[in-house]
């Protein structure tokens, strides 16, 4: 799929060590493996409006159902907004270390 200059397939393990991990490290991210990479690719393509059948072809799945069920992770705008609001919620458990009286 990815030919090297000699026309033979690229060693994917070497690609991770030589290219992917250093790029992720520079971005402050970590590598989570090829499955996570493929899921991220499918999800990103979906969010960009690429048809699911095209994503299926890119990932070389035998049917679009596998792509949709296992690789494309969708989140509604409402869920994304709700989770984003948690990012700005006060850290209630950190605000006070004193014990409240037991009644």
pTM of the model: 0.64
pLDDT category at 85 given cuts 50, 70, 90 is confident
Each residue's pLDDT tens digit, 29-84: 999 999 999 999 999 999 899 999 999 999 999 999 999 999 998 878 788 788 78
CB atoms within 10 A of CB 94: 7
H/E segment holding residue 23: helix 21-26
Q: Compute the distance between CA of residue 86 and CA of residue 72 in angstroms, rounded to an integer.
A: 24
Question: What's the pLDDT score for residue 79?
Answer: 80
Structure tokens at 66: 């596998």
Q: How many CA atoms lie within 13 A of 61 on its CB side?
A: 19
Q: Compute the distance between CA of residue 22 and CA of residue 98 in angstroms, rounded to an integer.
A: 45
Whether 17 has a pLDDT exceeding 60, the answer reads yes
Percentage of the chain beyond pLDDT 70 is: 83
Which residue would you say has higher pLDDT here, 89 or 95?
A: 89
Segments making up each domain of the chain, as ranges: 32-95
Whether 95 has a pLDDT exceeding 90, the answer reads no
- Partnered with residue 9 across adjacent β-strands are 3
């Amino acid at each position: 799929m990815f030919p090297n200059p000699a026309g033979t397939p690229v060693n994917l393990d070497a690609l991770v060590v030589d290219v992917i991990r250093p790029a992720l490290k520079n971005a402050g991210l970590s590598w989570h493996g090829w499955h996570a990479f493929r899921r991220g690719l499918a999800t990103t393509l979906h969010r960009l409006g690429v048809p699911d059948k095209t994503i299926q072809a890119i990932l070389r799945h035998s049917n679009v159902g596998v792509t949709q069920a296992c690789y494309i992770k969708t989140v509604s705008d409402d869920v994304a907004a709700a989770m984003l609001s948690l990012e700005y919620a006060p850290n209630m458990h950190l605000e006070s270390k004193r014990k409240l009286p037991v009644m």
